[in-house]
Structure 1
Amino acid sequence: MVEFALLGAVRASHDGQQVELGRRQERCVLGLLLLEAGKAVPTERLMDLLWGDPAPAAARSTLHSYLARLRSRLSPLGVRLVTRGSGYLADVDPQTVDVHRFLAALGAAQQHADPQARAQILGDALDLWHGPLLGDVADEHLRNRVGARLAEQRLTALELWAQAELAIGGHAAIMSRLTEVVQANPIQEKLAALLMRARYQGGDVAGALAVFVTLRDTLADQLGLEPGRELDELHLAILNRRTPAPVHAAVRVAAAAPPRQLPLDVPVFTGRAAQLNLLDDLLPGVTAPAAGTAQRTVVITAIAGTAGVGKTTLAVHWAHRVSGRFPDGELYVNLRGFDPAGSAMRPEEAVRGFLDALGVEPHRVPAGLQAQSGLFRSLLADKRVLVILDNARDADQVRPLLPGSRGSVVLVTSRNQLTGLVATEGAHAMTLGLLNPTEARQLLVSRLGQARMTAEPQAAAKLIELCAGLPLALAIVAARAAAQPDFGLAALVTDLCTAPGSLDAFTGNDLATDIRAVFSWSYESLSPDAARLFRLMGVHPGPDICLAAAASLAGWSTVHTRQTMDELERAHLVSRQPPGRYSFHDLLRSYARELAAAVQWRDDAHTALHRLLDHYLHTSHRADLLLDPFRDPIQPASPVAQVSPEQLADHQGALSWYAAEHAVLLAVIEAASCHGFDTHAWQLSWTLANYLERRGHWQHWVDTVTAALGAAVRLGDRSAQARLHRSLARADARLGRYDKAHQHLTNALRLYRALDDRVGQAYAHLNINVVFGAQQRHHEALHHATTAFSGYEQEGHLVGQALALNSIGWCHAQLGDFEQALKHCHAALELHDQLGDHSGEADTWDSVGYAYLGLGDLHLAGHGYHRALRLFRSLGDRFNEASTLIRLGDIGQAQGDPAAARDSWKAAWKILDALDHPDADLVRRKLTTPLNATV
């Protein structure tokens, strides 16, 4: 058997003996064919690589001569160089060529979880490299054209090998292999970081720091860039002699201002002096530890107390007092532990919100609570952040949200005593009791004024007694008295003493501890419209509501709704949150829900819920079509009377609406399922899924569509079930759960066949094509894309035909059949132009560029990419504009024009960096990889 080496000098050996391959140009031709072993290389491509454009007149005959001499040497050894179409093919097993063995080993290593096995496989693969690709036959220009991707793959292999060696303690091996590589490539950040880790963990601190200094200076001199976040953090860890964060924990975060999430402080805060002093006493050991003392862990304080006692007010007020001592920001979340609807926030949702606030891009958020919690702790390591976890149900809800290192402070509020948190996490327990009479009086004086309290001392004392020191009750009573300055306090006391009823969970022995009575005092003073709106707010599942949705809920104009909401705000029954959203305490929500469920108002509440669901469904449907006008549509029934869906104007308006409402929509979908509105449940889920997919909220996507699928099953709506199986398949594919994705698509196909829905079957096949493509199973992907096209064609479905043609073209391109790729992509372009689908047209021009690039026609590849670029820019599609700029940079590299390549990549990097997109790191790597890479 003949074996070939291209990684270094071009060589061949037969049974251990070197084979004479002839002169340099002949060996170069052989090397170019072996790079594509088993595939035909067009004659024009070979001539262009060997001589450039234009090739000399005698180039074709000279090439024939080279091949004839190579055949005479190799044919006796069983190696065939055959003519295939308009090109030549090396008919050899790719595994006899070191390049292809290297690539196969790289792929195999990535499937191994065991670091020992990965290190062995990758070490053997890297040992195949004896120099630059085609080292003795190609100049740098040719090597860049045919080997740039391979050079990147070697860098990837080096990174993966070094990570595996670090995991098994192979510091010496890393220093031996990487030292020379990093010296030759001083701006390779990931390799430099791995060498720094190896030297540091091997005891060479000075050597580790020297690597950083060299890289920092070279980046600044050559590119005007600073080292990335991972290197900065690693450098700081080494300087401070700390254990660096694990390699896998490094996640790029956006360069954003520290989060400042504290809610508004109350205008006048009274009482709680002892508790504020206790909280203040916790700070000195956190922010300024004494020299020589042991490092403190994160400080946790659990503030417990009954509903309405002022736990949140105390936590937020103290946080505002000390926020200046936390330069890295404040994080706040309402965990909704006692939401009357029973939908306490899951820890996954809370930690995801914190990761978003800390600037982690959606596609960099790992799957699973444990991994997300670990990333959160890594990001807060050695930072000073104040974290408020408000309204927690229990310790289990809190634990994944706790930072792990000194410097941060956590305040947890809960109605329960979090004894588990005290016992295992060392939390400081604080039980917040009722206000004493002096503090209660100070609160009322701050709201009503000293003169009014002094004018009726007995009535004032009775008010304090009736409110039993409960701050929430005092605030409500004060609001009522303030709203009626001519209404004496004595008359108010008389009303309070006759208020009926109690909230079951907070029943006391007398009226003073009956919170339902306290709420009723304020409710019964409302105008009829305000009272109705308050009741109907109990129908809304939360966590908050915008004015437009409240107007549809009540069936009123937005003007009248705003006026009525203002009345509720003045009575402290709702609070307004910027920008233009309203919420209320969960106890008040529970009270409002009780009222709405009363017999006399039950029908009004049910009709209002229908209006609310129609509002969200039709607004979300419009937003979804603005995001993707050619998406497989649904047809919701017309909204009922007095519903005014929001009139979103454009793509950006749709994105902004979803950003504000997607958490509400998740709760609304759950409410629709619970109250028998199953059609709304599945249709809302379908309209929301596209946004959740784009923003990377994969688990929310799975959860909401799973609930929607249950609703569709209850309805017996097989068409809806099929759609939702397709949506779940896409979500599972995004999460890498390909077996589940295929199962959902099998179910979708079965349902569509039972319905004889040919278009639905075509959509399912197109989805299967995408899943197979993600698995790199391009032959199977092509089969399903072709099947999808046939289905669309039979039904005259032009949108689907255009999508399928582009998918077919892309599959052919991935399989190396670029002529067929172009044929299908050009057919797709005709349909996109006919439909006016500029987004689809842009995507297809991008495919055309890729196909021409595969054929080696850099001019036409550039033409395709430039057409795509112009369309993406006209659409305002910044991400795809950046993606196309990356490919144009690749063409510049292949043409030997490093200046053009860097210009395109730098423009792409600026866009992606502004978008906080993770691909910015990939482009940065291109910018920091020498174009003549010979590692």
Structure 2
Amino acid sequence: MDAGRLASGVPFTDLPDPSASVSLDDLVERLRRLKVWAGDPSYDAITERVNAAWRAAGRPASELARRSTVANCFVSGRRRFNTDLVLAVVEALHPDPAYVNQWRQALRVVTGESEAVAQVRVLDELPQDLATFTGRVRELDRLRLAAREGDAVVISAIEGMAGIGKTQLAVRAGHLLLRDNEVDRVLFVNLRGFHPDDTQPPADPSAVLDGFLRLLGVPGHQIPYGLEARAEAFRHRIAGTRALIVLDNAADAEQVRPLLPRTKDCLTLITSRRSLTELAPAIRLAVDAFTPDEALTYLAGALPDIAEGPAKRIAERCGYLPLALSLIAAHIRNTPGWTLADHADRLDERHRDRRLDSGVEHALDLSYRALPADRQRVLRLAALHPGQDFDAYAVAALTGDSENDLEALRDDHLLQETAPGRYSFHDLVRAYATGRAHDQDPPAARRAALTRLYDHYLATAAAAMSTLHPAEAHRRPAIPPTGLPAPDLSGREAATDWLDTERTTLLAVAAQAGPGHVTRLAQVLYRYFQGSSNADALIVHGHALRAANDSGDLGGQAHALVGIGIAHLRMGSIARGVTCLRQAVGLFRELDEPGGQALALTNLGTLAERAGRLDEAVSLWQETLTLFRRAGDRSGEAMTLNGLGGAMERAGRYPEAIAYSREALALAERAGNLHAEAFVLNSLGFGEMKAGELGPAGEHLRRALELFRRLGSRAGEATVLDSLGLLHTRLGRAAEAVGFHEEALVIVRENGDQDGEVHVLNGLGEATLAADRPADAIAHHTAALVLATELGVRGQQALAHAGLGRATGEAEHLRQALALYVELGAPDAEQIEAELAALQNAEAVGG
């Protein structure tokens, strides 16, 4: 194939844009185009470039790429990508960091990694110290000295040496520093740099910073959006404290760099299998296996009585690795009647007979074989769990049995307890247990276990949503209970906590389960993700759309398209959002589903209204109203009436707007739909504010805010905070107005809600001008104008021009605002005309 020409013969000169990809095949096609763009190098040449970069980054020879795996990246029809390799290929073809990052983001969206990388657990305490911790005296002395000197510390393992004890060394050092009063507080996170399951990619540093800031006392709605802003907020918050920050299992320097506090008062301990040479200045410790003497000391402390000869043989067969020794010690304690020599002989036999490669594998094999058969099965099936951690209910679903002795597996060092009642695996133990599951459990048995697990999460999520949004049960598929043990989610707090705790797992289930589970799970979680994270919504509905396409499920496709479309609209991708919603309308019409059709049309009406096409919006909502009434959906009917009220408010017909909102409120209350009630209360309060009824407006807006906060809807909370800001500007309480708008701005940016951001920026501009801060007002209205123009929100463009005219005194802005308001048929035109005339008269008098 000639350079600059695709296989189809079509010339190609532009650098491919990965962000337009919606599937793995799309990405493969763009990777092929990139190869052509780069001069069409051979696979051998690309492999050489990739491996040269990886060697320079410290990768061991065992992890270098083969030509066949590189070539396979360019093959379509894939179900999964090796993200690390694809990014390395992209960098080999076009080594521009910004372009490589575009691919990283596109891969996360298309492969469903966005939620996986964004979900990470952070702790404000260290894991439990090991009573049997042995040796490492020199390393500990260096770490404690570094703490006194205020240096950042990197603990780097020898290449490929997992289980060497890096984490335990960091944990022991941390406990000693706390004991010696060298630090005042702790932040700990497992960055998942080398998780054996490729559905658990390295954690996103932005998500880690979100967790750190929350632990440092920053309310969620005050956490900024974006990596750089969060890193700066973290450094500001941590400055002046004597904090120990433990970044465990780091993938590379890029993941770690934003998490460094950059203050001498804080000590950062980083563990990694890589040499992080870029993070200077730092002390670097290459952690090796125990010395023979340290291994004997460890065994002497872990066992009641040892003989030196057999102990030496055991230590040697374990490769002097701390993890292997801890597993062997637990096995020996649980094997009464065997002498230490018996255990040493057994290890020798297994080494000869099975040619096991590592001490950890020796130890795991013996520990596993010593377990009762039922506990072996629990360990194998638990390793199939797709999430970062799990509870007893999930294991009961996997095994089909409520009796699972997870505490015993924890005591045997085969499971780790990450929090009360929640468990996880060491990476090496998970890999071993997964291998045993594939060896011992037939594919049908493994599929049955995972099906029970997916049923469990689907049913439990449905129970949680029924508690939180009972009035919308008719919009969700009916999910029967599984009959297996499940948590009690009848209380709102319990339901919310379960959803928040299991969010990572729910996204993993959406990525891995079959079409029937995925499409229903997406419909069940529609409201939860819509009110919390647009990125989450894109991922779960994206998985549902792919599954529905694969299975020919038109209804599943339509529902997924609605979820994707709404998320795109909120994130500012208007064209994508409209396309998805129109496709959904067509599918719902084909299926004769009036409720689904109405749901899509009402959002298209909202978009038309915000673009200033009021007649089109009203027409769409009137059609929507008929469809919701046909479907018997009172909640939908209420929200449509609410939309019609909004249209009347835009037209300046305030009494009609208020009447629509009151009718909608009565419907929402009768339906028992708190979510719809909160939205209608906001609209009612906003209409009353525009009509000059400021007292009732404040009452209704405060009720709406309380409801949204009780429901945990961040998007709804931001909408009402913006309305309260506008109200307080009109009340002459500018400082309070600024505070409301600033709270709203944090939330809309956190949610990636660009449409909401435009409204808040214009409101903030009005409030800061009222607070006699014209420079701030100009900045906010200018930002609003840029964003509104990008999104095509013409009413907000007009509002931004009007605000700039008032803040700068420039007539040109007022003239542009007037032209837009006249074009939109908005009543605001009269006020702008008066302001423009007054300004021109003042200029004439002054002249």
- For the criterion TM > 0.5, the same-fold answer is yes
Alignment equivalent of 2:301, drawn from 423, 446, 449: 446
d(CA) in 1 for partners of 2:228, 2:729? 42
SS of equivalent to 2:128: coil
State the one-letter code of the partner of 1:441. L
1:386 is matched with 244
1:422 and 1:428 in contact (8 A); partners too: no
Range with greater deviation from structure 2 (779-788 or 478-487): 779-788
Q: Report the TM-score, using the length of structure 1 for normalisation.
A: 0.60
Give the superposition deviation at 1:733.
3.0
Range with greater deviation from structure 2 (865-874 or 540-549): 865-874
Structure 2 residue 413 is the aligned partner of structure 1 residue 572: yes
Map of 1:692-731 to 2, 5 A cutoff? 692-696=529-533, 698-731=534-567
2:197 is matched with 340
2:394 is matched with 549
1:302 is matched with 156
Greater C-alpha radius of gyration: 1
State the one-letter code of the partner of 1:266. L
SS of equivalent to 1:461: helix
Map of 1:512-523 to 2, 5 A cutoff? 513-523=358-368
d(CA) in 2 for partners of 1:853, 1:328? 47
Give the superposition deviation at 1:360.
5.0
Give the superposition deviation at 1:853.
3.0
SS of equivalent to 1:410: strand
Range with greater deviation from structure 2 (347-356 or 827-836): 347-356
1:616 and 1:645 in contact (8 A); partners too: no
Structure 2 residue 662 is the aligned partner of structure 1 residue 826: yes
2:189 and 2:248 in contact (8 A); partners too: yes
Give the superposition deviation at 1:340.
3.4
Give the superposition deviation at 1:776.
6.9
SS of equivalent to 2:502: helix
Structure 2 residue 303 is the aligned partner of structure 1 residue 436: no
Map of 1:71-470 to 2, 5 A cutoff? 260-286=124-150, 298-304=152-158, 306-323=161-178, 324-327=181-184, 329-341=186-198, 343-348=200-205, 349-362=207-220, 369=227, 372-373=230-231, 376=234, 379-380=237-238, 384-404=242-262, 406-415=264-273, 417-418=274-275, 421-423=276-278, 425-449=280-304, 452-453=305-306, 456-470=307-321
1:477 and 1:522 in contact (8 A); partners too: yes
State the one-letter code of the partner of 1:389. L
2:515 is matched with 678
Range with greater deviation from structure 2 (726-735 or 431-440): 726-735
Map of 1:516-915 to 2, 5 A cutoff? 516-557=361-402, 560-561=403-404, 564-598=405-439, 600-631=441-472, 633-635=475-477, 638=480, 643-672=484-513, 677-696=514-533, 698-772=534-608, 781-858=617-694, 861=697
State the one-letter code of the partner of 1:726. V
Alignment size in residue pairs: 639
**1:911–1:752 Cα change, 3 Å:** closer
Give the superposition deviation at 1:588.
0.9
Post-superposition Cα deviations, 1:621-665, rounded to whole Å, max 9, x if no partner, equal: 11122222233633255466x533433112111111122211222
Give the superposition deviation at 1:522.
0.3
Structure 2 residue 319 is the aligned partner of structure 1 residue 482: no
Give the superposition deviation at 1:775.
6.0
State the one-letter code of the partner of 2:267. V
State the one-letter code of the partner of 2:504. A
2:532 and 2:713 in contact (8 A); partners too: no
1:24 is matched with none
d(CA) in 2 for partners of 1:747, 1:851? 33
1:259 and 1:328 in contact (8 A); partners too: no
d(CA) in 2 for partners of 1:402, 1:770? 43
2:242 and 2:266 in contact (8 A); partners too: yes
d(CA) in 2 for partners of 1:816, 1:749? 31
Tell me the C-alpha RMSD between the 2 structures. Answer: 4.3
d(CA) in 1 for partners of 2:139, 2:640? 66
1:310 and 1:472 in contact (8 A); partners too: yes
2:192 and 2:200 in contact (8 A); partners too: no
d(CA) in 1 for partners of 2:255, 2:736? 49
State the one-letter code of the partner of 2:516. T
Give the superposition deviation at 1:930.
12
2:155 and 2:287 in contact (8 A); partners too: no
**1:904–1:732 Cα change, 3 Å:** closer
Map of 1:63-78 to 2, 5 A cutoff? none
d(CA) in 2 for partners of 1:575, 1:278? 28
Taking every aligned residue pair, what percent have the same amino acid on both sides? 31
d(CA) in 2 for partners of 1:830, 1:862? 19
SS of equivalent to 1:623: helix
Post-superposition Cα deviations, 1:431-480, rounded to whole Å, max 9, x if no partner, equal: 2111112211221122213xx11xx3332232222222111111011111
Give the superposition deviation at 1:667.
2.2
d(CA) in 1 for partners of 2:223, 2:772? 32
d(CA) in 2 for partners of 1:709, 1:270? 53
d(CA) in 2 for partners of 1:775, 1:406? 52
SS of equivalent to 2:285: strand
d(CA) in 1 for partners of 2:705, 2:540? 35
State the one-letter code of the partner of 2:637. Q
d(CA) in 2 for partners of 1:722, 1:751? 6
2:387 and 2:505 in contact (8 A); partners too: yes
Post-superposition Cα deviations, 1:78-136, rounded to whole Å, max 9, x if no partner, equal: xxxxxxxxxxxxxxxxxxxxxxxxxxxxxxxxxxxxxxxxxxxxxxxxxxxxxxxxxxx
Give the superposition deviation at 1:285.
3.2
SS of equivalent to 1:343: coil
d(CA) in 1 for partners of 2:657, 2:372? 69
SS of equivalent to 2:531: helix
Post-superposition Cα deviations, 1:135-155, rounded to whole Å, max 9, x if no partner, equal: xxxxxxxxxxxxxxxxxxxxx
SS of equivalent to 2:277: helix
Post-superposition Cα deviations, 1:269-296, rounded to whole Å, max 9, x if no partner, equal: 2111111122233234327xxxxxxxxx
d(CA) in 2 for partners of 1:473, 1:934? 65
2:414 and 2:429 in contact (8 A); partners too: yes
SS of equivalent to 2:156: strand
**1:408–1:489 Cα change, 3 Å:** same
State the one-letter code of the partner of 1:302. S
Post-superposition Cα deviations, 1:808-841, rounded to whole Å, max 9, x if no partner, equal: 2123223322122123223223322432334433
SS of equivalent to 1:498: helix
State the one-letter code of the partner of 1:634. R
State the one-letter code of the partner of 1:821. A
SS of equivalent to 1:283: helix
d(CA) in 2 for partners of 1:826, 1:513? 72
2:102 is matched with none
d(CA) in 2 for partners of 1:934, 1:581? 51
Post-superposition Cα deviations, 1:176-211, rounded to whole Å, max 9, x if no partner, equal: xxxxxxxxxxxxxxxxxxxxxxxxxxxxxxxxxxxx
**1:888–1:391 Cα change, 3 Å:** closer
State the one-letter code of the partner of 2:319. A
State the one-letter code of the partner of 1:604. A
d(CA) in 1 for partners of 2:518, 2:599? 22
